């Protein structure tokens, strides 16, 4: 997968080259190019923002600069080749979900536009949508200062799903949300720590009982913390033992 990120703070994306993602890049599973938006300014101040039409707080990012940047970064898409998907983090975006991470993991190329200030002139998104798929997404119901943190989160969520990136592929297959529930508590050695013992069932070697216990803890936790996920489960998702909990 090829990933391009356009930002006025390229250094913010440095963590993409660390740890698991860094190893995936070194292994050639992913290529990441970070581009400084100011490359496509032509004035001495390298201005990327201006006052909002209609008034209001803050500044808006200028369409000319973004238009030239995306034209250059996306480049000419060879005929017959699918254009990349443009992902634009924004507080007003569609909630980013694990299902979307799987969708994006199937793409051969993703381009991320990191806004700052009060966001990017809407015409940039509208123009881009005439020649590539564009998703305006949000990583949560809280307000950040720009799109870079969201890109780090989205890229990590997507990259870990790519074959060969995770050491243990089963980990992604057993993700939280993959069965619609939050995962339950996890434990490792020592057996007792500060007077707290690991639940006996996990040391019993009875795999059926362990699976049941884990499912029960996942159902309890989901009901307590994300009742919306429980309500969204199809009726067939809960078996008789689940309902007896």
Ligand X SMILES: N#Cc1c(-c2ccc3ccn(Cc4ccc(CN5CCOCC5)cc4)c3c2)n[nH]c1N
Only segment of 27-35, 87-95, 205-213, 226-234 that touches ligand X (CB under 6 A)? 87-95
| 217 belongs to the catalytic site | no
**Binding residue for ligand X (CB under 6 A) from 46, 64, 90, 98?**
90
Q: What is the 3-state secondary structure (H, E, C) of the chain?
A: CEEEEEECCHHHHHHHHCHHHHHHHHCCCCEEEEEEHHHHCCCCCCCCEECCCCCCCCCEECHHHHHHHHHHHHCCCCCCCCCCEEEEEEEEEEECCHHHHHHHHCCCEEEEECCCCCCECHHHHHHHCCCCCEEEEECCCCCCCCCHHHHHHHHHHHHCCCCCCCCCHHHHHCCCCCCCCCCCCCCCCCCEECCEECCHHHHCCCHHHHHHHHHHHHHHHHHHHCHHHHHHCCHHHCCHHHHHC
Least CB distance to ligand X at residue 131 (A) = 22
Only segment of 74-82, 140-148, 157-165, 167-175 that touches ligand X (CB under 6 A)? 140-148
86 binds ligand X (CB under 6 A): no
Residue 205 token pair: 């070697």
**Binding residue for ligand X (CB under 6 A) from 16, 139, 172, 182?**
139
Least CB distance to ligand X at residue 140 (A) = 5
**Binding residue for ligand X (CB under 6 A) from 45, 53, 80, 145?**
145
**Binding residue for ligand X (CB under 6 A) from 147, 161, 182, 218?**
147
66 binds ligand X (CB under 6 A): no
**Binding residue for ligand X (CB under 6 A) from 138, 177, 184, 214?**
138
| 91 belongs to the catalytic site | yes
Least CB distance to ligand X at residue 7 (A) = 10
Q: Catalytic residue positions?
A: 91, 118, 160, 175
The contact set with ligand X (CB under 6 A) reads 57, 89-91, 93, 115-119, 138-140, 142-147, 150
């Amino acid at each position: 997968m090829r990933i391009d990120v356009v930002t006025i703070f390229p250094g913010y994306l440095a963590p993409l080259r660390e740890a698991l993602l860094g190893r995936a890049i070194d292994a050639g599973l992913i290529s990441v190019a970070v581009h400084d938006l100011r490359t496509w300014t032509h004035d001495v101040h390298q201005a990327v923002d201006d006052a909002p039409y209609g008034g209001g707080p803050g500044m808006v990012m200028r369409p000319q600069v973004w238009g030239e940047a995306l034209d250059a970064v996306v480049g000419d898409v060879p005929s017959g080749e699918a254009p990349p998907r443009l992902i634009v983090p924004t507080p007003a975006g569609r909630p980013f979900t694990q299902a979307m991470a799987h969708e994006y993991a199937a793409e051969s190329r993703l381009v991320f536009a990191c806004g700052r200030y009060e966001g990017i002139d809407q015409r940039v998104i509208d123009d881009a949508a005439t020649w590539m798929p564009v998703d305006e997404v949000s990583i949560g119901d809280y307000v950040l200062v720009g799109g870079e943190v969201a890109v780090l989160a989205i890229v990590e969520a997507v990259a870990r799903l790519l074959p060969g990136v995770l050491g243990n592929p089963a980990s992604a297959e057993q993700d939280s949300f993959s069965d619609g529930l939050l995962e339950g508590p996890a434990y490792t050695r020592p057996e007792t720590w500060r007077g707290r013992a690991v639940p006996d069932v996990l040391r019993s070697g009875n795999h059926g009982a362990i699976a049941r216990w884990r499912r029960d803890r996942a159902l309890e936790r989901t009901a307590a913390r994300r009742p919306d996920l429980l309500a969204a489960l199809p009726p067939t998702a809960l078996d008789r033992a689940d309902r007896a909990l």
